[in-house]
Amino acid sequence: MGKTIAEKIFESHIVDNPCDDIYVIRLDAVFCHEITTPIAINDLVVRGKDRVFDASKIKAVIDHVTPAKDSKTAVQGKILREWAGRHGIKDFFDIGRNGVCHAIFPEKGFVRPGYTIIMGDSHTCTHGAFGAFAAGVGTTDLEVGILKGVCALGYPETIRINITGKKPEGVFAKDIILSLIGLIGVNGATDKVIEFSGPAVESMSMDARMTICNMAIEAGATCGICAPDMTTVEYLWNHIKDEFKTKKAALDAFSVFRSDPDASYAGIIEHDVSDLEPLTTFGYRPDNVKPVREMEGVKIDQVYIGSCTNGRIEDLRIAAGILKGNKISDYIRGIVSPATSEIYRQALDEGLIAVFLNAGFCVTNPTCGACLGMSNGVLAEGEACASTTNRNFMGRMGKGGMVHLMSPATAAASAIAGHITNSKIYGGR
């Protein structure tokens, strides 16, 4: 019997099978940020186990609240910073050089096909875009990962979603993943891996693949995963060119991490995107999805473009393409947060930052802040935000606030209109 990508990676990393369906796997990387790691660090200190399994395999970033907004968040940054320092964790990224974890770690080349990765963050599934087995975990799993370089997980059953068809203009990776979550529901892939395959995925950029894998958790999935191909190699090339003579050689090496034709799946879903429309959410669950046209005119107070879902350069290009030559509505607050310092610089070089500023957007430093209502764009009670983020839970961006999830194109168009609207009515795209 053939194996899926997830099974191949998982099986090659097993160190123990303590009982039942639980396997302890070896980790190739443990990622850390300042919200979920400090309590793990403090606990290790209290236990007299303030050690790390391998400083070169631990990567850390301050991203959720940066710059610190108050004394408490300053302490969280301080704990992570001092810990990285005393253990010689060289890949530590602080303000000015930082970025949203799920954007900066791939950008730095830390995610490779075949890797096993955990992080104390549910959107760790993003890294599956590279053909890695990457799972979000809680603080205790993170703590053991830091200390021992292992994690206990169930054997990964996979749901394959085969995406076909050419998406119409104005429809983006975000619309595809929203449509899928709407289809299978917030509980549709719990305890399973979602493998995204098919021609529509093969033709996607890495940025777009990261967008779809990012939201696999919104259907309950342990990981999202895409087979590595030449697009993966091209993205990673600067980081791997010393390891492989040619791109072809890298591709051959990575091709081990592809599902066998006779692999067994828990389910296979065929999804044709030829007739897909731009989508948005209407309630407090990511599977409350509707066409934008049915939400036309819905009131918003803020537009947020950024996050680990849609704060990458391609997203900023799409939004700027619509904003160019336009001004946002007088009644709207527009906030854009490029997901990393590098993306910020690139956006500046390409003139995108000027487009955002001319349109009336506030451009903030890279941070997760607004997405989870911690800083840099918190909503007031009764306000609504058109947002390129990943969660519309009640109170997510601020107590009593409503979040409508959408693509950067729909968010940009809605900023101009002053209410939810389709990007087709504006120039650019």
Partner 1 sequence: MKNFSGKVLFLDRPDINTDEIIPARYLSENTKQALKPFLFEDINLEGFDYKKDIRGRSVIITRDNFGCGSSREHAPWALQENGFNLVIAQGFARIFKRNMFNCGMMAVELPPEIIDRIFSVFSKLETEIETFFDRSSFTLTSGEIKESVKFEISEFDRALVSAGGWVEYADSRY
Residues that bind partner 1 (CB under 8 A): 15-16, 18-22, 24, 35-36, 38-39, 42-43, 47, 49, 64-65, 70, 72-73, 75-76, 79, 120-122, 124, 136-141, 143-144, 147-148, 150, 152, 154, 186-187, 190-191, 217, 220, 222, 284-285, 372-374, 378, 391, 393-396, 398-399
Give 299's strand partners: 419
Inter-helix orientation angle 230-240/247-254, to 10°: 120
Q: What is the 3-state secondary structure (H, E, C) of 348-369?
A: HHCCHHHHHHHHCEEECCCCCH
The Cα-based distances of 315 to 201, 291, 347 in angstroms read 17, 20, 10
CB of 296 to partner 1, least distance (A): 26
CB of 4 to partner 1, least distance (A): 18
CB of 290 to partner 1, least distance (A): 18
Q: Using CA atoms, how far apart are residues 141 and 150, in angstroms rounded to an integer?
A: 9
CB of 190 to partner 1, least distance (A): 6
Which residue spans within 378-419 are E strands per DSSP? 384-387, 402-405
Q: For residue 252, report the phi and psi dihedrals to the nearest 5 degrees.
A: -60, -45
209, containing H or E segment: helix 206-214
Q: Which is nearer to partner 1, 181 or 409 (CB)?
A: 181
CB of 401 to partner 1, least distance (A): 10
Q: Which is nearer to partner 1, 237 or 393 (CB)?
A: 393
Q: Which is nearer to partner 1, 292 or 308 (CB)?
A: 308
CB of 354 to partner 1, least distance (A): 32
Q: Which is nearer to partner 1, 180 or 217 (CB)?
A: 217
Q: Which is nearer to partner 1, 318 or 372 (CB)?
A: 372
Instruction: Report cis status (omega within 30 of 0) of the bond before 67.
Output: yes
Q: Which is nearer to partner 1, 123 or 167 (CB)?
A: 123
DSSP string over 171-196: --HHHHHHHHHHHH-TTTTTTEEEEE
CB of 348 to partner 1, least distance (A): 30
Q: Using CA atoms, how far apart are residues 237 and 250, in angstroms rounded to an integer?
A: 9
Q: Which is nearer to partner 1, 36 or 422 (CB)?
A: 36
> What's the one-letter identity of residue 22?
I
Number of C-beta neighbours around residue 140 at 10 A: 12
Q: Which is nearer to partner 1, 49 or 90 (CB)?
A: 49
Q: Could you tell me the two tokens for 252?
A: 């051959």
CB of 206 to partner 1, least distance (A): 23
CB of 307 to partner 1, least distance (A): 13
Of 346, 326, 328, residue with least CA distance to 338: 346
The Cα-based distances of 394 to 214, 217, 284, 384, 400 in angstroms read 20, 17, 5, 11, 7
Q: Which is nearer to partner 1, 128 or 278 (CB)?
A: 128
CB of 247 to partner 1, least distance (A): 35
CB of 125 to partner 1, least distance (A): 10
Q: Using CA atoms, how far apart are residues 202 and 179, in angstroms rounded to an integer?
A: 18
Q: Which is nearer to partner 1, 9 or 65 (CB)?
A: 65
Q: Which is nearer to partner 1, 282 or 284 (CB)?
A: 284
137: left (phi over 0), alpha (psi -120 to 50) or beta: beta
22, containing H or E segment: strand 22-26
Q: Could you tell me the two tokens for 316?
A: 């900023």
Of 390, 412, 252, residue with least CA distance to 309: 390
- The CA dihedral of 347, 291, 183, 5, to the nearest 10 degrees, is -20
